[in-house]
Chains A and B, each alone.
Chain A
Amino acid sequence: MAIGYELSDSSVVVVIGSGAGGGTVSNELAQKGIDVVCLEAGSRLALSDIVNNPGIMNERMGWLDKRLGAPTWLCKTVGGTTVRWSGITPRFQEHEFKPLTTYGKLDDTTAIDWPITLDELAPYYDMAEDRMGVSGTHGIPPSAETNEFKVLKAGGKKIGYKEITSTRAAINPAARDGRPGCRQIGFCWSGCAIGAKWSTLYSEIPKAEATGHFELRTQSMVVKINHDESGKVTGVVYADLNGVLHEQKARAICVAGNVVETTRLLHNSASSMFPDGLGNSSGHLGRNYMRHMTKSTTAIMPGAVNFHRGTRQSGLIFDEQYHRPERGFVGGYLIETSSGDPLGMAQSVGGWGESAADYLENYTNLASTWVSGEDPPQASNRITFHKTERDQYGLPVPILTYNFHPNSIAMHMHAAKMSKQLLESLGARAVTSTMAGGGGCHNMGVARMSAEPADGVTNRWGQCHDIANLFVSDGSVFASSAAANPTLTIVALAIRQADHIAERMSHKEL
């Protein structure tokens, strides 16, 4: 099972973070016989620690350290945000890897094409879907149609949508890969108490441990990456539970802390050789921060929906994902279901008085859609650090600056109109939309991959342009956001990166 590597063992690959990116790259490397030390800032929950209570679970797994500016909704726990995510796993479309070519240069954006194509990633999407158990792929049946999915489907059909599916969820419809089938518990965002939803917490991490080539150190917060005079990284400094600092030597390092911590760690590791932070000769580190055009639309339906029964996101509509500039914006969006508990719905609809109470008085009749749309990269959307304020690790407090691009506002207006039509086609009343809902769940782009070193932080493998043995393994490497929920693409890229690392090692290049 778990083994202990010496701090001085410089043959190990150190992976920072154990979520979708870090958990996956760890397991893929360990399966190939490569020794991995994974450092995770959070603690390790057992399934018995997962209860149907969002407040308690946020305390147990949420990232609650101080951050300023735009809020994120991330986790500090083994498994990272795969413990909290809702499991929706669409692929990117071909044109979404070529946003600059397809959309042209929008004002105030820093768009580039990805240095890889859908064709190159497709085999890894296949592997990712298999690892994660995505419904409707690899012989896995579609997800069961919940009440709220049936509302989405009926309304979607009424207004002419054709591509409506209850597939593309990494939640087991039936037992598979040592995990049980979904019991429609309805608290996916509090963590799946039975492990039916894919999470690296109980999938990749135990599998990696079983190889004998993997050690997970929990409550280990990495504060700095060290390098030598040649510019290669040599190890990481981390604080343990008691705040005691240790240095773990490394042959190569994979950073997967989600956008805020990935930026902070590379920024905080600045040296005389890398004065603007590791891997930041381009100046793009921390910039081009994308989080999707997201919006929630809620309405009171003419009959009971009881959307608290069953998975919180139970299907999606593809019809609006395409690039059709005649709609008044570039790129597209996905329409998905989204339920909430009473507090979540009260916060989502906002306000006070009779109209606010009316929604909650009709809680059993509520239905919601949630939209995820392409978010153009902007240099001004970025993560910076407070000049004087420090957190409990002595690290500068992150500041998240994020504003919607006019393209996202135009897309928002369209999505609001279509969501309203969909719900009203079934007799809904009191339709209300909010643009903020869900913002901060999807985080991308602060160390993007680029063909040209001047355009980004990493290359087509997520390997830093400036430092050959330093990799970024999370959504930070996204060159564009596309419309799709990002986790499947993070996992596909991490599997691909592990292949690359193993190949380079076999040629003694790492």
Chain B
Amino acid sequence: MIRGETSRRRFLVAVMAHSGLLASGMGAALLRAGSAWAQSSTGKAGELARMARLLFPHDGVADEVYAEVIDSILSDVANDASMTDTLKVAVTALNTAQAGDWVTASAGDQIAAMQAVENEAFFGAILGSVRVRFYTHPKVWEHIGYPGSSVEHGGYVDRGFDDIDWLPGDA
């Protein structure tokens, strides 16, 4: 009944459409975008991974997870000059806002540099893409206590759907 296998790319189109990201045009660009620049420049991937952690900072989540999120963005995008430019713009903008080497600055200065560019279209595009990948990552789910699919476990009818115990009174 269903045509073909659901590709990760179409999944992201769907999720990003839901999030409104595609409306900006930047989401679509991200999906098409080229990875040659970043792959040839591991330092840039490192800066983007640091940016990902500062976007969604969870102390209990390992650096490797943030790196995987960035790697998955970079490996999914096809060659696309405009997106390569977007990613370049992001890293350049952070270094400019920091007036120096952003990746080695203090966390406070790094965040200030991000705040200085947070209304730029490229920032929104990267934020949306990182959010989709990070909060669907199995290790993030494990960290925050979200088990994912439940139907194969019979749902929660016998597994605590009504076990709340701290509410007041006769609730």
Contacts and interface: CB of A to CB of B under 8 A. Distances in A.
Contacts, number: 165
A436 B19 CA distance: 10
Contacts of B6: 55-56, 59-60
Contact of A309 (B127, B131, B160, B168): B160
Contacts of B127: 352
Interface secondary structure of B, over-half rule: loop
A154 B167 contact: yes
Q: Most B CB atoms within 10 A — which of A56, A154, A183, A187?
A: A183
B57 to A, nearest CB: 5
Nearest to A69: B23
Contacts of B114: 352
Interface in B120-171: 127, 131-132, 135-136, 140-141, 144-151, 154-157, 159-169, 171
Interface stretch (B7-15, B40-48, B72-80, B89-97): B7-15
Interface string A138-177: 0000001111001101100110000000000000000000
A102 to B, nearest CB: 35
Given A342-B136, A342-B140, A146 B161 contact: yes
B145 A184 contact: no
A310 B160 CA distance: 9
Contacts of B100: none
B164 A346 contact: no
A353 B57 contact: yes
Contact of B141 (A52, A73, A342): A342
A120 interface: no
A52 B151 contact: yes
A357 B56 contact: yes
Contact of A58 (B1, B15, B144, B162): B15
A29 to B, nearest CB: 26
Interface in A85-107: none
A61 to B, nearest CB: 9
Given A71-B20, A353-B111, A364-B145, A45 B1 contact: yes
A241 B81 CA distance: 35
B14 A62 contact: yes
Interface residues of B, number: 54
A454 interface: no
A315 B127 CA distance: 33
A304 interface: yes
A407 interface: no
Q: Most A CB atoms within 10 A — which of B6, B54, B162?
A: B162
Contacts of A346: 56, 131, 135
A319 interface: no
Contacts of A360: 56, 58, 135, 144
Given A45-B1, A59-B6, A342-B136, A185 B151 contact: yes
A229 interface: no
Nearest to B148: A52
Interface string B1-40: 1110010001111110111100100000000000000000
B151 A309 contact: no
A352 to B, nearest CB: 4
Contact of B149 (A49, A53, A60, A71): A53
29 contacts: A43-B1, A46-B1, A52-B151, A59-B10, A64-B14, A64-B17, A144-B157, A145-B162, A147-B160, A147-B161, A147-B162, A157-B169, A157-B171, A183-B154, A184-B155, A184-B161, A306-B163, A308-B146, A308-B150, A309-B156, A310-B156, A346-B131, A346-B135, A352-B54, A352-B55, A353-B111, A364-B146, A426-B168, A436-B20
Given A43-B1, A306-B160, A306-B163, 17 more contacts: A49-B2, A55-B14, A58-B14, A60-B2, A62-B14, A144-B157, A147-B162, A154-B171, A158-B168, A182-B157, A183-B157, A186-B156, A193-B151, A304-B164, A306-B145, A352-B56, A363-B145
Interface of A: 43-46, 49, 51-56, 58-60, 62, 64, 71, 73, 144-147, 150-151, 153-154, 157-158, 182-187, 193-194, 302-306, 308-310, 341-343, 346-347, 352-354, 356-357, 360-361, 363-364, 426, 436
Interface of B: 1-3, 6, 10-15, 17-20, 23, 54-58, 111, 114, 118, 127, 131-132, 135-136, 140-141, 144-151, 154-157, 159-169, 171
List the 10 closest pairs (A to B, CB-CB), nearest first: A183-B155, A154-B171, A303-B166, A52-B149, A309-B156, A185-B155, A310-B161, A58-B14, A184-B161, A55-B11
